[in-house]
Structures are given as C-alpha cells and as structure tokens.
A and B are shown apart, each in its own frame.
Chain A
Amino acid sequence: MGKVLTFGIAKEITGGGVVDVPFENGITAGGLRTLLQSTYPRLKELKSFALAVNGEYAVADQLINDTDEIAIIPPVSGG
C-alpha cells in the first residue's frame, strides 16, 4: 500500500489530492500505471498520463517502493 499524489483532472478522477493505492513494493512504474487505470478507469480517457517518482518523471521499468513520493501527472498545460 502506498500513497499517490494527484493533480488537475487526475485529482477529480481519483477524488482526492492523495489516494491510497494497494501495490506491492518492487512494482514497476508501468505496473503501477496499469493498476491505477484499473482502479480508476477514467484515467484511460486521458490523452496521456505519466507517473513521477520522487519528483522525476518515471520510466516504465523503474521499481517503486511505498516510501517513494509518487504522483500522477496528467497532461500538463502550464503557460
């Protein structure tokens, strides 16, 4: 179980700025992404979304632990 920060449209989809997600330590970022999509199917409607781990964009095979700061990054739209 770990905490995932959410922003923008992802906050609305998941219903909170921080959500608890039941994942095992050592899951890959790609695996967590799939788990999030099955838990919150509306994430699949987004143009894209990335995961950030400890403030950096994650790559798909990166391993994640529940002590990491994890965030869902929906399509950015600053500027």
Chain B
Amino acid sequence: MLMNGDNKSVSMTDIRISDLPLNIQSCIDWVQSPESGGIDVFLGTVRNATKGRKVQHLEFEAYEPMAIAEMKKIADAVIAKWPVNKILIYHRTGKLAVGEIPVIIAVAAAHRGAAFDACRYAIDTLKETVPIWKKEVFEDGEVWVAAHP
C-alpha cells in the first residue's frame, strides 16, 4: 500500500489526455485532501461563436506523448513554484460539442492564493507549450485556431 509521503511527485500530480468526457467531480475528489484549505478549478468550455461566426463543434488533436510530457513539466513547475498539495491536468481530444469541457485543471493548496496563482499559470502555460490543436468547425467552413497571423 502506498503510504502518505511515498512517491511524492507522482502522487501529487495527475496528467491525462482522453477522448472520453471528463468528470469534474472525480477531478475535484482526486485533488481534495485534509491538508488543503482550497481547491481552484479551471474548466475550459466550448464556446458557441468566434468573431460572430457560429461554431458547430470543435475538434482537438494532440501529439500525445509530447503533450503528456509538456503537461508534466507544467505540473512539476507548479509544485516547484507554489506550496500546492495536488495538481491535476486533463485534456480532451476528438470532437466536442458546444458546452463540453476540453480541459480541466484542478489545484489544491493549504491557502487559496497559491491555488489561484498556480491554476492561472498552468492554463496560461498549457496554451503556449502543450502540442494540442483545435479546429473550429463553422456552418460555412473550418479554421485551425491560431495557425495564421
């Protein structure tokens, strides 16, 4: 049995890429611990329009081994920079409808300041470094987001 404190860096982080719907409650349950006084959760949700064009759905593609490695780097950096107890980063791939959740980041810490700051850092960095791409599919065309100037 894994005792508290053993295998610390592994038990503090949970990183996953999945083509199945994400369960918010199970993510919160995983980061919850008696040592934490706050949990900060960021949920990305699929928006129904971009620049006035109606979005039908999004399609997410990942370079999975590298994406997992980059997500782990983010979680490790969070643990090095802030006094947090647990961090979870999950990302979806595949086709997502409006309102579905492509990304969940949950951070638990003794105090809320670290949880807020770490969560913000994690989602901002994910958007800059993790090799995942989204295509917006409109009624009249489709666009790989951020691909062109």
Q: A45-B148, A47-B146, A77-B134 known; A8 and B61 CB under 8 Å? A: yes
Taking chain B's interface residues, is the majority helix, strand, or loop, or is none over half, making it mixed?
mixed
The contact size tier of chain A is 20 to 34
The contact size tier of chain B is 20 to 34
Q: A7-B63, A52-B66, A55-B66 known; A75 and B146 CB under 8 Å? A: yes
In the complex the two chains form, what is the Cα distance from A7 to B132 in whole Å? 9
Please tell me if the beta carbons of A79 and B147 are within 8 angstroms of each other in the complex.
Answer: no
Please tell me if the beta carbons of B146 and A77 are within 8 angstroms of each other in the complex.
Answer: yes
CB distance from B67 to the nearest CB of A (A): 8
Verify if A1 is at the interface (C-beta below 8 Å from B).
Answer: no
Q: Which residues of A contact B123 (CB under 8 A)?
A: 79
Q: A45-B148, A71-B66 known; A7 and B61 CB under 8 Å? A: yes
Closest to A12 in B: B144
Please tell me if the beta carbons of A79 and B63 are within 8 angstroms of each other in the complex.
Answer: no
Please tell me if the beta carbons of B63 and A73 are within 8 angstroms of each other in the complex.
Answer: yes
Verify if A9 is at the interface (C-beta below 8 Å from B).
Answer: yes
Q: A46-B148, A76-B128 known; A9 and B133 CB under 8 Å? A: yes
A 1-37 binary contact with B (CB < 8 Å = 1; else 0): 0000101110010000000000000000000000000
CB distance from A71 to the nearest CB of B (A): 6
Q: A5-B63, A9-B133 known; A78 and B146 CB under 8 Å? A: no
Please tell me if the beta carbons of B134 and A78 are within 8 angstroms of each other in the complex.
Answer: yes
**Chain B contacts to A: CB under 8 angstroms:** 44, 60-63, 65-67, 69, 91, 102-103, 123, 126-135, 144-149
